[in-house]
């Protein structure tokens, strides 16, 4: 049995949608970040980074959303949310997933938590430079997508869910992922899936959806 430690609309969203896509049994354990519960000793015993998400699978505890997604894809390979290990497409899967978590996501952290990086007086400038870095990255993804339906190969993978999650985080930025036409089509496609809709409902996420 899986247990996903989550907070609505955070980095737990891709694993949450994926668990539903895979149609496996799981339990949701909410961590109230507004109350700072990610810092509670009980949660730090699960994720010593004090970050969301974490996945518990019997005695195994995983953190890092991308690692959780890859683990779930492999355990339920028949669902096809990641290409076969060792295949060239799997190489593509690693490339895009690592790029999303390692390149786009850290810039998101800069945008949402600027005070962790610079003094208060520099926050606005810092956010602006973050945005200048971030948007060309989304443009690169948009260009890669072109007429493709999905980011890797011919079918939906966890990479699409991950890109969807990160794109959503731009919805209140001065420039948004959804303004890019190819990416917008991907976001619409992921949003239309029952697993995504249920995740939004359960997490209580309201419009704008992304
Ligand atoms: N690299 C981590 C990042 C996780 C992360 O930063 N999560 C945010 C929510 S989106 C969080 O826990 N924020 C609470 C905090 O930083 O105090 C992952 O992908 O799992």
Pocket test for ligand 1, best of 50, 51, 70, 114 (most atoms within 8 A of CB): 51
Tell me the C-alpha distance between 180 and 183, whole Å: 5
Whether 162 and 100 have beta carbons less than 8 Å apart is answered as yes
Cα-to-centroid distance, 172 and ligand 1 (Å): 18
Mapping DSSP to helix (H, G, I), strand (E, B) and coil, where does residue 31 land?
coil
Segment 125-176, tens digit of pLDDT: 999 999 999 999 999 999 999 999 999 999 999 999 999 999 999 999 999 9
Q: What confidence tier does 27 reach under pLDDT thresholds 50, 70, 90?
A: very high
The pLDDT, as a whole number, for residue 187 is: 98
Q: Is the CB of 55 under 6 A from ligand 1?
A: no
Q: Taking every pair of C-alpha atoms in the chain, what is the biggest distance, in angstroms?
A: 52
Q: Is the CB of 168 under 6 A from ligand 1?
A: no
Whether 68 and 28 have beta carbons less than 8 Å apart is answered as no
> What's the DSSP call for residue 113?
-
Tell me the C-alpha distance between 160 and 147, whole Å: 15
Strand order in the sheet with 26-30: 26-30, 2-6, 54-57, 60-63
Average pLDDT over residues 101-107: 97
CB-based contacts of 162: which residues, under 8 Å, 6+ apart? 14, 65, 66, 69, 97, 100, 101
The pLDDT, as a whole number, for residue 148 is: 98
CB-based contacts of 144: which residues, under 8 Å, 6+ apart? 151
Tell me the C-alpha distance between 56 and 27, whole Å: 10
Tell me the C-alpha distance between 37 and 50, whole Å: 9
Nearest to 156 by CA among 180, 181, 190: 190
Average pLDDT over residues 99-121: 97
Segment 36-60, tens digit of pLDDT: 999 999 999 999 999 999 999 999 9
Q: What confidence tier does 25 reach under pLDDT thresholds 50, 70, 90?
A: very high
The pLDDT, as a whole number, for residue 3 is: 98
Cα-to-centroid distance, 186 and ligand 1 (Å): 24
Whether 187 and 167 have beta carbons less than 8 Å apart is answered as yes
Whether 158 and 97 have beta carbons less than 8 Å apart is answered as yes
- Residue 23's Cβ-count burial label (10 Å; 0-12, 13-18, 19+) is exposed
Contacts 24+ apart (CB under 8 A), 32-36: 32/7, 33/7
Q: Whose CA is nearest to atom 5 of ligand 1?
A: 51
The pLDDT, as a whole number, for residue 203 is: 98
The pLDDT, as a whole number, for residue 67 is: 98
Average pLDDT over residues 62-68: 98
């Amino acid at each position: 049995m899986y247990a996903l430690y989550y907070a609505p609309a955070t980095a737990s969203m891709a694993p949450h949608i994926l668990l539903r896509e895979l149609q496996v049994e799981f339990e949701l354990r909410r961590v109230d970040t507004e109350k700072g519960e990610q810092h509670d000793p009980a949660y730090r015993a699960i994720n010593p980074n004090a970050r969301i998400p974490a996945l518990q699978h019997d005695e195994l505890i995983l953190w890092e959303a991308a690692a959780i997604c890859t683990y779930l894809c492999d355990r339920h390979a028949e669902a096809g949310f990641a290409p076969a290990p060792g295949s060239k497409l799997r190489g593509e899967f690693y490339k895009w997933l690592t790029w999303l978590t390692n390149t786009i996501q850290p810039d998101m952290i800069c945008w949402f938590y600027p005070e962790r990086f610079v003094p208060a007086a520099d926050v606005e400038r810092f956010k602006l430079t973050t945005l200048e870095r971030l948007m060309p990255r989304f443009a690169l993804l948009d260009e890669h997508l072109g007429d493709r339906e999905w980011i890797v190969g011919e079918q939906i993978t966890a990479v699409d869910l991950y890109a969807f999650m990160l794109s959503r985080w731009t919805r209140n930025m001065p420039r948004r992922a959804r303004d890019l036409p190819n990416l917008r089509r991907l976001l619409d496609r992921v949003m239309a899936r029952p697993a995504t809709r249920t995740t939004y409902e359960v997490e209580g996420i309201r419009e704008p959806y992304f």
